[in-house]
Amino acid sequence: MKKFLFKLFFLSVASVSVMAQGSPARVLIIGLDGFSTEGYKVAKHPNIDKMVADGVLSLSTRPVMPSITLPNWTSHLTGSGPEEHGITANNWTLEKHPLPAIAVDEEGYYPSIFKLLKDMVPNVKTAYYYNWKELINPINKKYLDEVAFEENDGYSANYSKAFDFILKHQKDPALIFLYSVHTDHAGHEFGWMSDPYIKAIEDADVAIGALLDKLKKEGLYKGTHFLLITDHGGINKGHGGVSMNEMQVPWAITGPQIRKRGLVTDFNSNKNTSFVLAKIFNISKLPDAWTAILPNVIFK
């Protein structure tokens, strides 16, 4: 009953329709794997700073447990934790996994934000760019208009493809997921907070800045929501435990519907991401299985 009433409240305060603001809702998710709060505080990232300056930044967002890759990225994109979506390890596959999800679509996948958009938002376009091959395993590709995998930790080609996708579909509502694992791999190889790890973050910031500049030149920046997310932090050369090095990450959002709050300390979880996305797109019905909450400091 409590969950039902909360969803009614969400519907009652939903923002105006996707088209009412004069342009379709568009969200670019920038995902950097293994991007710790410690790393955020030490690395220089002027382009990320400019991007989130007019929005909301959390440096105390909690990953779901275990603090590893696939459970957390799945939680970002499904509004739920491992206890609901059933992804408890990085070796999860649709054919072989120990914990059944509490809800699945026709093909056996837990309902993602991509399915929700395709079901509820007319003409929406969706894209998924990644460079860690297992990442897409829990996502039903039939709800994605474009999918691209880049080999060997590369990400520059995917950043270019994401820009081309936005440019091509600028008149349509769109959700673009743009992910890179190179930051996480630098942590595993050299250690979290090592010089190469910090450089990996700073290299990503340069690529982000170049992408944002291209969007600005095309007049596509101001109408876009940008969401910066990650899955977990790290300690020494690993992660998966419960230290604050691993269990505290940055989460940031900016865009037309977002309040200018700067750094906030309100509770947030990786599994809240899709609820935030649903509100941006003014989706009127959420999956019953989702367990996320909507952070109250974000929207105007």
Cis peptide before 66 (omega within 30 of 0): yes
Spell out a b/e string for 95-132, using b for 16 or more CB atoms within 10 Å of the CB, else e. Answer: eebeeebebbbeeebbbbbbbbbbebbeebbbbbbbbb
> Strand 249-254 and strand 225-229: pairing?
antiparallel
3-state helix, strand, coil in the chain (%, to 5): 35, 15, 45
pLDDT tens track for 176-230: 999 999 999 999 999 999 999 999 999 999 999 999 999 999 999 999 999 999 9
% the chain with pLDDT above 70: 93
pTM: 0.92
Closest CA to 272 of 292, 286, 289, 299: 292
- Domains in the chain with CATH codes: 28-280 (3.40.720.10)
The residues near 78 (Cβ < 8 Å, ≥ 6 apart) are 84, 85, 110, 111, 112, 113, 138, 271, 274, 290
pLDDT tens track for 1-33: 434 344 434 433 333 334 434 589 999 999 999
Q: Are 77 and 177 in contact (CB under 8 A)?
A: yes
